[in-house]
């Protein structure tokens, strides 16, 4: 299967929403604990016009296999953006996230961000490994974070500096 990366569009929102909801249903790799609606996803992906970007990884049939989003986040300074990476179940470990991140770095620089924050559940080994392998470094830990489901987890914050 050949994967190509392109900018996400309104036509990709439904597929991205379905992909994310499958990941939420399995659990353990995202702080999200209930299904996301298409409208919620649109608000997330397009919410802060001119300050967000997202890319999709599509296969030969133009089916979404993963997506990555960046944008401002309330707990971050204006020079930083949050990142979210989601790859279709069964497609992880194939380089999709790596390809997405190359496009995301360029987009973050074009949007004027200095660094990218990844907020990862501390029990999400694959997520921690993914961001570490991209060059993110841990700068903060949170303990006893209560998710909307009532579950308590730790959070690890990793940072990727875009500018030297």
Phi, psi of 128 (to 5 degrees): -60, -45
Q: What is the per-residue pLDDT for 154?
A: 86
Look at residue 80 in the predicted model and tell me its pLDDT. 96
pLDDT at 111: 95
pLDDT over 70 for what percent of the chain?
92
Pick the CATH number of 4-117 from 1.10.3720.10, 3.40.630.30, 3.40.50.140, 3.40.33.10: 3.40.630.30
Nearest CA-CA partner of 84 in 32, 38, 39, 123: 32
CB atoms under 10 Å from CB of 121, counted, come to: 19
pLDDT value of residue 5: 96
The pLDDT assigned to 29 comes to 65
pLDDT at 92: 64
CA distance 8 to 45: 9
Strands (E), 95-135: 115-121
Distance CA 135, CA 122 (A): 17
The pLDDT of residue 159 is 97
CA distance 10 to 43: 11
Residues of the chain with pLDDT under 50: none
Q: In this predicted structure, what is the pLDDT of residue 77?
A: 95
């Amino acid at each position: 299967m050949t994967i190509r990366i392109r900018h996400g569009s309104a036509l990709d929102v439904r597929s991205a929403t379905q992909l994310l909801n499958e990941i939420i249903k399995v659990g353990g790799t995202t702080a999200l604990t209930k299904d996301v609606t298409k409208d919620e996803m649109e608000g997330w992906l397009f919410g802060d016009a001119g300050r967000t970007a997202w890319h999709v990884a599509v296969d030969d049939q133009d089916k979404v296999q993963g997506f990555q989003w960046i944008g401002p986040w309330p707990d971050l300074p204006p020079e930083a953006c949050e990142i979210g990476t989601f790859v279709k179940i069964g497609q992880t470990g194939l380089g999709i996230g790596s390809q997405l991140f190359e496009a995301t770095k360029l987009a973050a620089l074009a949007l004027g961000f200095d660094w990218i924050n990844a907020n990862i559940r501390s029990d999400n080994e694959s997520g921690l490994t993914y961001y570490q392998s991209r060059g993110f470094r841990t700068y903060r830990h949170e303990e006893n974070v209560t998710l909307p489901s009532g579950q308590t987890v730790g959070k690890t914050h990793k940072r990727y500096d875009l500018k030297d």
